[in-house]
Structure 1
Protein backbone atom coordinates (compact mmCIF):
# COMPACT_ATOMS: atom_id res chain seq x y z
CA UNK A 1 0.00 0.00 0.00
CA UNK A 2 1.19 3.54 -0.83
CA UNK A 3 0.18 5.17 2.46
CA UNK A 4 -1.70 7.88 0.53
CA UNK A 5 -5.14 8.51 1.99
CA UNK A 6 -7.80 8.20 -0.70
CA UNK A 7 -10.79 10.53 -0.96
CA UNK A 8 -13.70 11.06 -3.32
CA UNK A 9 -14.96 14.02 -5.32
CA UNK A 10 -18.76 14.26 -5.46
CA UNK A 11 -20.18 16.92 -7.75
CA UNK A 12 -23.13 18.80 -6.19
CA UNK A 13 -25.51 17.63 -8.90
CA UNK A 14 -27.71 15.08 -7.14
CA UNK A 15 -31.31 16.17 -6.45
CA UNK A 16 -33.62 15.22 -3.60
CA UNK A 17 -32.98 12.10 -1.53
CA UNK A 18 -30.29 10.91 -3.94
CA UNK A 19 -27.78 13.43 -2.61
CA UNK A 20 -27.40 12.04 0.95
CA UNK A 21 -27.19 8.51 -0.44
CA UNK A 22 -24.16 9.35 -2.56
CA UNK A 23 -22.25 10.62 0.48
CA UNK A 24 -23.22 7.52 2.46
CA UNK A 25 -21.96 5.42 -0.43
CA UNK A 26 -18.59 7.18 -0.31
CA UNK A 27 -18.32 6.48 3.41
CA UNK A 28 -19.30 2.82 2.98
CA UNK A 29 -16.52 2.40 0.40
CA UNK A 30 -13.99 3.24 3.10
CA UNK A 31 -12.84 6.56 1.62
CA UNK A 32 -10.99 8.74 4.12
CA UNK A 33 -12.57 11.98 2.95
CA UNK A 34 -15.04 13.34 0.40
CA UNK A 35 -15.25 16.77 -1.21
CA UNK A 36 -17.49 18.81 -3.44
CA UNK A 37 -16.83 21.69 -5.81
CA UNK A 38 -17.82 25.12 -4.58
CA UNK A 39 -19.05 26.69 -7.82
CA UNK A 40 -22.42 28.18 -8.72
CA UNK A 41 -22.17 26.36 -12.05
CA UNK A 42 -19.33 24.50 -13.71
CA UNK A 43 -17.90 24.19 -17.18
CA UNK A 44 -19.69 21.63 -19.38
CA UNK A 45 -22.41 21.14 -16.76
CA UNK A 46 -23.64 24.76 -16.70
CA UNK A 47 -27.00 23.73 -18.18
CA UNK A 48 -27.40 20.74 -15.85
CA UNK A 49 -28.64 20.46 -12.24
CA UNK A 50 -26.10 21.97 -9.86
CA UNK A 51 -26.57 22.73 -6.16
CA UNK A 52 -24.87 24.89 -3.55
CA UNK A 53 -21.82 23.38 -1.86
CA UNK A 54 -22.23 24.31 1.81
CA UNK A 55 -25.87 23.20 1.88
CA UNK A 56 -24.89 19.96 0.18
CA UNK A 57 -22.21 19.34 2.80
CA UNK A 58 -24.67 20.02 5.62
CA UNK A 59 -26.81 17.19 4.28
CA UNK A 60 -23.72 14.99 3.99
CA UNK A 61 -22.71 15.76 7.57
CA UNK A 62 -26.13 14.69 8.82
CA UNK A 63 -26.05 11.24 7.19
CA UNK A 64 -22.40 10.22 7.68
CA UNK A 65 -20.35 9.46 10.78
CA UNK A 66 -16.65 9.00 9.99
CA UNK A 67 -15.71 10.37 6.59
CA UNK A 68 -13.97 13.75 6.36
CA UNK A 69 -15.86 16.44 4.42
CA UNK A 70 -14.67 19.53 2.60
CA UNK A 71 -14.96 22.14 -0.12
CA UNK A 72 -12.71 21.79 -3.15
CA UNK A 73 -12.45 24.77 -3.07
CA UNK A 74 -14.34 27.85 -1.83
CA UNK A 75 -13.25 31.14 -3.41
CA UNK A 76 -13.86 34.86 -2.86
CA UNK A 77 -15.72 35.14 -6.18
CA UNK A 78 -19.11 34.99 -4.48
CA UNK A 79 -18.37 34.46 -0.79
CA UNK A 80 -17.65 37.01 1.92
CA UNK A 81 -15.30 35.79 4.69
CA UNK A 82 -17.86 36.51 7.45
CA UNK A 83 -20.50 34.27 5.89
CA UNK A 84 -17.95 31.70 4.71
CA UNK A 85 -16.49 31.35 8.20
CA UNK A 86 -19.95 31.09 9.77
CA UNK A 87 -20.91 28.33 7.32
CA UNK A 88 -17.63 26.52 7.94
CA UNK A 89 -18.04 26.68 11.71
CA UNK A 90 -21.59 25.36 11.37
CA UNK A 91 -20.41 22.46 9.22
CA UNK A 92 -17.67 21.64 11.71
CA UNK A 93 -20.30 21.49 14.44
CA UNK A 94 -22.77 19.45 12.35
CA UNK A 95 -20.10 16.93 11.38
CA UNK A 96 -18.60 16.58 14.85
CA UNK A 97 -15.25 17.98 13.73
CA UNK A 98 -14.93 16.37 10.30
CA UNK A 99 -14.97 19.47 8.11
CA UNK A 100 -12.05 21.02 6.20
CA UNK A 101 -12.45 24.40 4.53
CA UNK A 102 -10.81 24.18 1.13
CA UNK A 103 -9.90 27.63 -0.21
CA UNK A 104 -8.66 28.98 -3.52
CA UNK A 105 -8.18 32.36 -5.18
CA UNK A 106 -10.70 31.61 -7.94
CA UNK A 107 -10.06 31.58 -11.67
CA UNK A 108 -11.76 33.05 -14.73
CA UNK A 109 -15.22 31.97 -15.81
CA UNK A 110 -18.85 32.22 -14.77
CA UNK A 111 -18.22 32.35 -11.01
CA UNK A 112 -15.98 35.37 -11.48
CA UNK A 113 -18.68 37.20 -13.43
CA UNK A 114 -21.92 36.13 -11.77
CA UNK A 115 -22.12 39.10 -9.38
CA UNK A 116 -21.41 41.59 -12.16
CA UNK A 117 -18.09 42.71 -10.72
CA UNK A 118 -15.17 43.67 -12.92
CA UNK A 119 -12.51 41.19 -13.90
CA UNK A 120 -9.55 41.33 -11.52
CA UNK A 121 -5.92 41.08 -12.51
CA UNK A 122 -3.85 38.14 -11.28
CA UNK A 123 -2.19 40.46 -8.75
CA UNK A 124 -5.58 41.64 -7.48
CA UNK A 125 -6.86 38.07 -7.23
CA UNK A 126 -3.82 37.18 -5.14
CA UNK A 127 -4.24 40.27 -2.93
CA UNK A 128 -7.92 39.53 -2.39
CA UNK A 129 -7.28 35.87 -1.62
CA UNK A 130 -4.62 36.72 0.93
CA UNK A 131 -7.00 39.04 2.77
CA UNK A 132 -9.86 36.53 2.44
CA UNK A 133 -7.77 33.75 3.99
CA UNK A 134 -6.42 35.96 6.74
CA UNK A 135 -9.89 37.13 7.74
CA UNK A 136 -11.35 33.61 7.65
CA UNK A 137 -8.52 32.54 9.95
CA UNK A 138 -9.29 35.36 12.39
CA UNK A 139 -13.04 34.72 12.34
CA UNK A 140 -12.65 31.01 13.06
CA UNK A 141 -10.22 31.54 15.94
CA UNK A 142 -11.85 34.41 17.83
CA UNK A 143 -15.39 34.74 19.24
CA UNK A 144 -15.66 38.30 17.89
CA UNK A 145 -13.74 40.13 15.18
CA UNK A 146 -13.64 43.66 13.83
CA UNK A 147 -11.51 44.04 10.72
CA UNK A 148 -11.09 46.68 8.01
CA UNK A 149 -9.12 45.78 4.91
CA UNK A 150 -8.84 46.70 1.26
CA UNK A 151 -11.31 44.06 0.12
CA UNK A 152 -13.38 43.16 3.19
CA UNK A 153 -14.77 44.58 6.39
CA UNK A 154 -16.12 42.82 9.46
CA UNK A 155 -17.73 44.72 12.32
CA UNK A 156 -18.19 42.87 15.60
CA UNK A 157 -18.60 39.59 13.73
CA UNK A 158 -19.48 36.77 16.14
CA UNK A 159 -18.39 33.14 15.79
CA UNK A 160 -20.01 31.31 18.68
CA UNK A 161 -19.67 28.61 19.89
CA UNK A 162 -16.61 28.26 17.67
CA UNK A 163 -15.18 25.20 15.97
CA UNK A 164 -15.15 21.66 17.30
CA UNK A 165 -11.59 21.37 16.00
CA UNK A 166 -9.21 23.65 17.87
CA UNK A 167 -7.83 26.22 17.59
CA UNK A 168 -9.96 26.21 14.46
CA UNK A 169 -11.04 23.82 11.72
CA UNK A 170 -8.30 23.04 9.15
CA UNK A 171 -7.79 24.85 5.87
CA UNK A 172 -6.83 23.17 2.60
CA UNK A 173 -5.35 25.83 0.31
CA UNK A 174 -5.20 25.30 -3.45
CA UNK A 175 -2.18 27.09 -4.89
CA UNK A 176 0.38 26.80 -7.66
CA UNK A 177 2.07 30.22 -7.51
CA UNK A 178 4.55 31.48 -4.91
CA UNK A 179 2.11 33.79 -3.10
CA UNK A 180 -0.55 31.11 -2.80
CA UNK A 181 1.98 28.58 -1.59
CA UNK A 182 3.14 31.03 1.07
CA UNK A 183 -0.48 31.26 2.22
CA UNK A 184 -0.70 27.46 2.34
CA UNK A 185 2.48 27.33 4.41
CA UNK A 186 1.18 30.03 6.74
CA UNK A 187 -2.44 28.98 7.27
CA UNK A 188 -3.19 25.52 5.90
CA UNK A 189 -3.15 21.98 7.18
CA UNK A 190 -3.19 20.76 3.57
CA UNK A 191 -1.93 22.06 0.23
CA UNK A 192 -4.11 21.20 -2.80
CA UNK A 193 -2.99 20.79 -6.41
CA UNK A 194 -4.61 19.79 -9.69
CA UNK A 195 -1.30 19.62 -11.55
CA UNK A 196 -0.72 22.30 -14.16
CA UNK A 197 -3.80 24.49 -13.65
CA UNK A 198 -3.18 26.27 -16.96
CA UNK A 199 -3.40 23.06 -19.00
CA UNK A 200 -6.04 20.96 -17.25
CA UNK A 201 -7.89 20.04 -20.41
CA UNK A 202 -4.73 19.19 -22.35
CA UNK A 203 -2.11 18.00 -19.86
CA UNK A 204 -0.94 14.46 -20.37
CA UNK A 205 -0.01 12.23 -17.49
CA UNK A 206 3.71 12.72 -17.84
CA UNK A 207 3.38 16.51 -17.86
CA UNK A 208 1.01 16.45 -14.90
CA UNK A 209 3.45 14.52 -12.72
CA UNK A 210 6.34 16.70 -13.87
CA UNK A 211 4.32 19.76 -12.83
CA UNK A 212 3.68 18.18 -9.44
CA UNK A 213 7.38 17.50 -8.93
CA UNK A 214 8.20 21.14 -9.69
CA UNK A 215 5.38 22.39 -7.46
CA UNK A 216 6.62 20.26 -4.59
CA UNK A 217 9.97 21.99 -4.76
CA UNK A 218 8.33 25.42 -4.73
CA UNK A 219 6.14 24.39 -1.82
CA UNK A 220 9.20 23.40 0.20
CA UNK A 221 10.70 26.82 -0.53
CA UNK A 222 7.47 28.52 0.58
CA UNK A 223 7.51 26.56 3.84
CA UNK A 224 11.12 27.57 4.42
CA UNK A 225 10.20 31.23 3.85
CA UNK A 226 7.43 30.93 6.44
CA UNK A 227 9.60 29.05 8.92
CA UNK A 228 7.49 25.91 8.68
CA UNK A 229 8.62 22.32 8.52
CA UNK A 230 7.24 21.07 5.17
CA UNK A 231 6.62 17.67 6.73
CA UNK A 232 3.81 19.23 8.79
CA UNK A 233 1.85 20.22 5.67
CA UNK A 234 -0.30 17.54 4.04
CA UNK A 235 -0.37 17.46 0.23
CA UNK A 236 -3.54 16.60 -1.66
CA UNK A 237 -3.62 15.85 -5.39
CA UNK A 238 -6.92 15.86 -7.28
CA UNK A 239 -5.99 12.76 -9.25
CA UNK A 240 -8.98 12.85 -11.59
CA UNK A 241 -7.65 16.15 -12.96
CA UNK A 242 -4.17 14.65 -13.42
CA UNK A 243 -5.26 11.64 -15.46
CA UNK A 244 -8.54 10.79 -17.24
CA UNK A 245 -8.58 7.11 -16.26
CA UNK A 246 -7.33 6.63 -12.69
CA UNK A 247 -9.08 3.25 -12.23
CA UNK A 248 -9.34 1.94 -15.81
CA UNK A 249 -7.57 -1.36 -15.14
CA UNK A 250 -6.66 -3.57 -12.18
CA UNK A 251 -3.80 -2.04 -10.26
CA UNK A 252 -3.96 1.28 -12.11
CA UNK A 253 -5.08 3.32 -9.10
CA UNK A 254 -2.58 1.64 -6.79
CA UNK A 255 0.23 2.40 -9.25
CA UNK A 256 -0.78 6.06 -9.48
CA UNK A 257 -0.98 6.41 -5.70
CA UNK A 258 2.48 4.93 -5.40
CA UNK A 259 3.84 7.52 -7.82
CA UNK A 260 2.15 10.29 -5.84
CA UNK A 261 3.62 8.97 -2.60
CA UNK A 262 7.12 9.14 -4.12
CA UNK A 263 6.52 12.86 -4.67
CA UNK A 264 5.43 13.44 -1.07
CA UNK A 265 1.68 13.47 -1.65
CA UNK A 266 -0.27 12.38 1.43
CA UNK A 267 -3.83 12.47 0.07
CA UNK A 268 -5.44 11.90 -3.33
CA UNK A 269 -8.96 12.52 -4.57
CA UNK A 270 -10.74 10.75 -7.43
CA UNK A 271 -14.14 11.65 -8.79
CA UNK A 272 -16.99 9.24 -8.23
CA UNK A 273 -17.94 7.85 -11.64
CA UNK A 274 -20.64 9.64 -13.61
CA UNK A 275 -22.66 7.91 -16.35
CA UNK A 276 -21.35 10.19 -19.11
CA UNK A 277 -19.39 13.34 -19.81
CA UNK A 278 -16.84 14.68 -17.36
CA UNK A 279 -15.55 12.05 -14.90
CA UNK A 280 -17.47 9.26 -16.68
CA UNK A 281 -16.43 5.82 -15.50
CA UNK A 282 -17.41 2.26 -14.72
CA UNK A 283 -18.78 1.93 -11.20
CA UNK A 284 -17.70 -1.69 -10.75
CA UNK A 285 -14.12 -0.85 -11.75
CA UNK A 286 -14.18 2.16 -9.44
CA UNK A 287 -15.36 0.05 -6.49
CA UNK A 288 -12.72 -2.62 -7.10
CA UNK A 289 -9.94 -0.04 -7.27
CA UNK A 290 -11.09 1.82 -4.18
CA UNK A 291 -11.48 -1.43 -2.28
CA UNK A 292 -7.93 -2.42 -3.21
CA UNK A 293 -6.47 0.92 -2.13
CA UNK A 294 -8.58 2.00 0.83
CA UNK A 295 -9.31 -1.25 2.57
CA UNK A 296 -13.01 -0.65 2.01
Structure 2
Protein backbone atom coordinates (compact mmCIF):
# COMPACT_ATOMS: atom_id res chain seq x y z
CA UNK A 1 0.00 0.00 0.00
CA UNK A 2 1.21 3.51 -0.82
CA UNK A 3 0.83 5.92 2.10
CA UNK A 4 -0.12 9.37 0.80
CA UNK A 5 1.00 12.55 2.61
CA UNK A 6 -1.85 15.07 2.70
CA UNK A 7 -1.59 18.74 3.55
CA UNK A 8 -3.92 20.11 6.22
CA UNK A 9 -5.58 22.49 3.75
CA UNK A 10 -9.17 22.15 2.52
CA UNK A 11 -8.16 19.74 -0.23
CA UNK A 12 -6.22 17.50 2.17
CA UNK A 13 -9.00 17.52 4.77
CA UNK A 14 -11.60 16.53 2.18
CA UNK A 15 -9.36 13.75 0.85
CA UNK A 16 -8.79 12.46 4.39
CA UNK A 17 -12.53 12.52 5.14
CA UNK A 18 -13.29 10.62 1.93
CA UNK A 19 -10.73 7.93 2.78
CA UNK A 20 -12.16 7.56 6.28
CA UNK A 21 -15.70 7.30 4.88
CA UNK A 22 -14.50 4.37 2.73
CA UNK A 23 -13.18 2.56 5.80
CA UNK A 24 -9.52 3.45 5.19
CA UNK A 25 -7.06 4.60 7.88
CA UNK A 26 -5.57 8.09 8.07
CA UNK A 27 -2.99 9.26 10.60
CA UNK A 28 -4.02 12.63 11.97
CA UNK A 29 -2.30 15.30 14.06
CA UNK A 30 -3.48 16.09 17.56
CA UNK A 31 -1.91 18.33 20.17
CA UNK A 32 -0.56 15.22 21.96
CA UNK A 33 0.74 12.78 19.30
CA UNK A 34 -0.34 11.66 15.82
CA UNK A 35 -3.32 9.29 16.00
CA UNK A 36 -4.26 6.47 13.64
CA UNK A 37 -7.85 7.33 12.78
CA UNK A 38 -10.61 5.09 11.50
CA UNK A 39 -14.41 5.36 11.52
CA UNK A 40 -15.37 4.25 15.05
CA UNK A 41 -18.75 3.00 13.74
CA UNK A 42 -17.21 0.72 11.09
CA UNK A 43 -16.09 -2.66 12.50
CA UNK A 44 -13.83 -3.34 9.50
CA UNK A 45 -12.09 0.03 9.80
CA UNK A 46 -11.52 -0.55 13.53
CA UNK A 47 -10.16 -4.04 12.84
CA UNK A 48 -7.76 -2.46 10.35
CA UNK A 49 -6.43 -0.19 13.13
CA UNK A 50 -5.55 -3.21 15.28
CA UNK A 51 -4.03 -4.97 12.26
CA UNK A 52 -1.91 -2.01 11.11
CA UNK A 53 -0.53 -1.42 14.61
CA UNK A 54 -0.22 -5.08 15.61
CA UNK A 55 -2.22 -4.06 18.67
CA UNK A 56 -3.78 -6.64 21.02
CA UNK A 57 -7.55 -6.68 20.51
CA UNK A 58 -8.15 -6.58 24.29
CA UNK A 59 -6.60 -3.07 24.44
CA UNK A 60 -9.42 -0.49 23.97
CA UNK A 61 -9.19 2.60 21.75
CA UNK A 62 -9.93 6.29 22.32
CA UNK A 63 -12.80 7.84 20.35
CA UNK A 64 -12.18 11.41 19.17
CA UNK A 65 -15.10 13.83 18.88
CA UNK A 66 -15.49 17.52 18.00
CA UNK A 67 -17.29 18.76 21.14
CA UNK A 68 -19.09 17.90 24.38
CA UNK A 69 -22.46 17.54 22.65
CA UNK A 70 -21.07 14.82 20.36
CA UNK A 71 -19.50 13.10 23.38
CA UNK A 72 -22.88 13.07 25.14
CA UNK A 73 -24.43 11.16 22.25
CA UNK A 74 -21.96 8.31 22.79
CA UNK A 75 -21.34 8.26 26.54
CA UNK A 76 -23.05 9.20 29.79
CA UNK A 77 -21.34 12.23 31.34
CA UNK A 78 -22.03 12.57 35.05
CA UNK A 79 -21.55 15.84 36.99
CA UNK A 80 -17.81 15.34 37.60
CA UNK A 81 -17.19 14.29 34.00
CA UNK A 82 -19.04 17.37 32.77
CA UNK A 83 -17.01 19.62 35.06
CA UNK A 84 -13.76 18.14 33.68
CA UNK A 85 -15.03 18.33 30.10
CA UNK A 86 -15.95 22.00 30.42
CA UNK A 87 -12.56 22.78 31.97
CA UNK A 88 -10.22 20.71 29.76
CA UNK A 89 -11.98 20.10 26.42
CA UNK A 90 -10.83 20.63 23.80
CA UNK A 91 -7.56 19.34 25.20
CA UNK A 92 -5.32 16.51 26.31
CA UNK A 93 -7.80 14.75 28.63
CA UNK A 94 -9.55 11.43 27.93
CA UNK A 95 -12.54 10.34 30.01
CA UNK A 96 -13.62 6.70 30.39
CA UNK A 97 -17.40 6.77 30.70
CA UNK A 98 -20.45 4.47 30.46
CA UNK A 99 -21.22 3.68 26.83
CA UNK A 100 -24.74 4.51 25.62
CA UNK A 101 -26.61 1.53 24.18
CA UNK A 102 -27.48 3.48 21.03
CA UNK A 103 -23.97 4.93 20.56
CA UNK A 104 -23.35 3.16 17.26
CA UNK A 105 -19.72 2.53 18.26
CA UNK A 106 -18.21 -0.75 17.00
CA UNK A 107 -17.72 -3.17 19.90
CA UNK A 108 -14.07 -3.71 18.96
CA UNK A 109 -13.38 -0.06 19.92
CA UNK A 110 -14.19 -0.75 23.57
CA UNK A 111 -12.70 -4.28 23.56
CA UNK A 112 -16.14 -5.48 24.69
CA UNK A 113 -16.24 -3.24 27.78
CA UNK A 114 -19.34 -1.32 28.87
CA UNK A 115 -17.30 1.88 28.97
CA UNK A 116 -15.76 4.00 26.22
CA UNK A 117 -12.72 6.31 26.27
CA UNK A 118 -13.51 9.66 24.64
CA UNK A 119 -11.60 12.85 23.95
CA UNK A 120 -12.15 16.21 22.25
CA UNK A 121 -8.81 17.16 20.69
CA UNK A 122 -7.68 20.79 20.57
CA UNK A 123 -5.52 20.62 17.44
CA UNK A 124 -7.11 22.79 14.70
CA UNK A 125 -6.49 20.20 11.96
CA UNK A 126 -8.07 17.44 14.07
CA UNK A 127 -11.07 19.65 14.80
CA UNK A 128 -11.49 20.55 11.13
CA UNK A 129 -11.26 16.90 10.07
CA UNK A 130 -13.78 15.75 12.69
CA UNK A 131 -16.27 18.33 11.44
CA UNK A 132 -15.57 17.54 7.77
CA UNK A 133 -15.91 13.79 8.38
CA UNK A 134 -18.92 14.38 10.67
CA UNK A 135 -18.50 11.25 12.76
CA UNK A 136 -16.55 9.69 15.65
CA UNK A 137 -12.98 8.61 14.96
CA UNK A 138 -11.20 5.85 16.86
CA UNK A 139 -7.57 6.94 17.00
CA UNK A 140 -4.80 5.33 19.07
CA UNK A 141 -1.25 6.59 18.55
CA UNK A 142 -0.10 6.10 14.95
CA UNK A 143 2.83 3.75 15.58
CA UNK A 144 3.42 0.00 15.70
CA UNK A 145 2.08 -1.27 19.01
CA UNK A 146 4.50 -0.91 21.90
CA UNK A 147 6.91 1.35 20.02
CA UNK A 148 7.71 5.05 20.40
CA UNK A 149 4.73 7.30 19.69
CA UNK A 150 4.92 9.66 16.67
CA UNK A 151 4.99 13.43 17.01
CA UNK A 152 5.57 14.25 13.32
CA UNK A 153 4.14 12.99 10.03
CA UNK A 154 7.61 11.69 9.11
CA UNK A 155 7.58 9.44 12.17
CA UNK A 156 4.28 7.93 11.02
CA UNK A 157 5.28 7.53 7.38
CA UNK A 158 8.62 5.82 8.06
CA UNK A 159 8.29 2.30 6.57
CA UNK A 160 10.79 0.79 9.03
CA UNK A 161 9.78 2.27 12.40
CA UNK A 162 6.34 3.67 11.56
CA UNK A 163 3.28 2.74 9.53
CA UNK A 164 4.42 3.70 6.04
CA UNK A 165 2.93 1.21 3.56
CA UNK A 166 0.32 -0.02 6.06
CA UNK A 167 -2.17 2.87 5.99
CA UNK A 168 -3.80 5.02 3.32
CA UNK A 169 -2.58 8.48 4.29
CA UNK A 170 -1.07 10.87 6.82
CA UNK A 171 -2.53 14.35 7.35
CA UNK A 172 0.61 16.44 7.88
CA UNK A 173 0.24 19.48 10.15
CA UNK A 174 3.77 19.63 11.56
CA UNK A 175 5.00 18.64 15.01
CA UNK A 176 2.61 17.97 17.90
CA UNK A 177 2.96 20.71 20.55
CA UNK A 178 2.31 18.64 23.74
CA UNK A 179 4.26 15.53 22.74
CA UNK A 180 2.87 12.95 25.21
CA UNK A 181 -0.51 11.23 25.08
CA UNK A 182 -3.60 12.43 26.90
CA UNK A 183 -4.27 11.97 30.58
CA UNK A 184 -6.95 9.31 31.14
CA UNK A 185 -9.48 9.57 33.98
CA UNK A 186 -12.15 7.00 34.80
CA UNK A 187 -14.42 6.30 37.76
CA UNK A 188 -14.03 3.47 40.28
CA UNK A 189 -16.89 2.91 42.74
CA UNK A 190 -18.01 6.49 42.23
CA UNK A 191 -14.55 8.06 42.65
CA UNK A 192 -12.50 9.64 39.88
CA UNK A 193 -9.33 7.67 39.18
CA UNK A 194 -6.15 8.39 37.25
CA UNK A 195 -5.80 5.59 34.69
CA UNK A 196 -2.88 7.12 32.77
CA UNK A 197 -0.91 10.31 33.42
CA UNK A 198 -0.54 12.53 30.39
CA UNK A 199 -0.79 16.01 28.92
CA UNK A 200 -3.02 17.42 31.69
CA UNK A 201 -1.41 17.31 35.13
CA UNK A 202 -3.21 15.32 37.82
CA UNK A 203 -2.94 18.32 40.14
CA UNK A 204 -5.04 20.41 37.73
CA UNK A 205 -7.73 17.73 37.58
CA UNK A 206 -7.82 17.40 41.37
CA UNK A 207 -8.26 21.17 41.67
CA UNK A 208 -11.44 20.96 39.57
CA UNK A 209 -12.78 17.93 41.45
CA UNK A 210 -11.88 19.26 44.88
CA UNK A 211 -10.47 15.91 45.99
CA UNK A 212 -7.52 13.61 45.21
CA UNK A 213 -7.68 11.18 42.33
CA UNK A 214 -7.56 7.48 43.08
CA UNK A 215 -4.54 5.64 41.69
CA UNK A 216 -5.74 2.08 40.96
CA UNK A 217 -3.23 -0.57 39.97
CA UNK A 218 -3.83 -1.46 36.31
CA UNK A 219 -4.03 -5.04 35.10
CA UNK A 220 -1.92 -5.13 31.91
CA UNK A 221 -3.60 -8.40 30.89
CA UNK A 222 -7.07 -6.82 31.03
CA UNK A 223 -6.70 -3.05 30.54
CA UNK A 224 -9.74 -0.82 31.03
CA UNK A 225 -8.10 2.08 29.20
CA UNK A 226 -5.37 2.56 26.59
CA UNK A 227 -1.72 2.90 27.60
CA UNK A 228 -1.75 0.38 30.46
CA UNK A 229 0.42 -2.36 28.95
CA UNK A 230 3.59 -2.95 30.98
CA UNK A 231 5.93 -2.58 27.99
CA UNK A 232 4.94 0.34 25.78
CA UNK A 233 6.38 3.39 23.98
CA UNK A 234 9.62 1.41 23.64
CA UNK A 235 12.68 2.11 21.46
CA UNK A 236 14.52 -0.87 20.00
CA UNK A 237 17.54 -0.32 22.27
CA UNK A 238 17.56 -1.01 26.01
CA UNK A 239 16.78 1.95 28.26
CA UNK A 240 18.17 2.75 31.72
CA UNK A 241 16.39 5.28 33.94
CA UNK A 242 17.50 7.85 36.54
CA UNK A 243 21.06 8.01 35.18
CA UNK A 244 23.38 10.81 36.29
CA UNK A 245 26.07 9.76 33.81
CA UNK A 246 26.51 7.38 30.90
CA UNK A 247 28.00 3.94 31.34
CA UNK A 248 30.51 2.78 28.72
CA UNK A 249 28.80 2.52 25.35
CA UNK A 250 25.58 4.26 26.45
CA UNK A 251 23.98 7.35 24.95
CA UNK A 252 22.79 9.64 27.76
CA UNK A 253 19.68 11.82 27.35
CA UNK A 254 20.04 14.63 29.86
CA UNK A 255 17.59 16.81 31.77
CA UNK A 256 18.31 19.99 33.72
CA UNK A 257 21.68 19.87 35.43
CA UNK A 258 22.46 16.39 34.05
CA UNK A 259 23.99 16.93 30.63
CA UNK A 260 24.07 14.31 27.90
CA UNK A 261 24.68 13.93 24.21
CA UNK A 262 21.03 14.98 23.87
CA UNK A 263 18.78 16.67 26.41
CA UNK A 264 15.06 16.76 27.15
CA UNK A 265 15.47 20.32 28.48
CA UNK A 266 18.64 22.09 29.52
CA UNK A 267 16.61 24.43 31.74
CA UNK A 268 14.65 21.60 33.39
CA UNK A 269 11.37 22.73 31.78
CA UNK A 270 8.85 19.86 31.93
CA UNK A 271 6.69 21.23 29.10
CA UNK A 272 9.70 21.34 26.79
CA UNK A 273 10.76 17.87 27.94
CA UNK A 274 7.32 16.37 27.22
CA UNK A 275 7.24 17.92 23.75
CA UNK A 276 10.70 16.52 22.93
CA UNK A 277 10.48 13.10 24.61
CA UNK A 278 9.36 10.79 21.80
CA UNK A 279 11.35 12.59 19.10
CA UNK A 280 14.53 12.31 21.19
CA UNK A 281 13.91 8.62 21.91
CA UNK A 282 13.61 8.00 18.18
CA UNK A 283 16.75 9.99 17.34
CA UNK A 284 18.75 8.36 20.13
CA UNK A 285 17.57 4.91 19.07
CA UNK A 286 19.02 5.49 15.59
CA UNK A 287 22.51 5.54 17.14
CA UNK A 288 22.20 1.81 17.85
CA UNK A 289 23.52 2.10 21.42
CA UNK A 290 21.96 1.38 24.81
CA UNK A 291 20.14 4.46 26.12
CA UNK A 292 20.16 6.14 29.53
CA UNK A 293 17.89 8.98 30.68
CA UNK A 294 18.51 11.49 33.47
CA UNK A 295 16.08 11.74 36.40
CA UNK A 296 12.89 13.72 35.76
CA UNK A 297 10.77 15.14 38.63
CA UNK A 298 7.54 13.24 39.28
CA UNK A 299 5.20 16.27 39.59
CA UNK A 300 3.09 17.91 36.84
CA UNK A 301 3.98 16.73 33.33
CA UNK A 302 6.91 14.88 34.87
CA UNK A 303 4.48 12.15 35.97
CA UNK A 304 3.49 11.53 32.33
CA UNK A 305 7.12 11.62 31.16
CA UNK A 306 8.20 9.13 33.81
CA UNK A 307 5.23 6.85 33.08
CA UNK A 308 6.29 6.66 29.42
CA UNK A 309 9.94 6.12 30.34
CA UNK A 310 9.15 3.32 32.81
CA UNK A 311 7.06 1.50 30.20
CA UNK A 312 9.76 2.09 27.56
CA UNK A 313 12.34 0.55 29.90
CA UNK A 314 10.20 -2.45 30.95
CA UNK A 315 11.24 -5.99 29.95
CA UNK A 316 9.84 -6.98 26.55
* Structure-2-length-normalised TM-score: 0.28
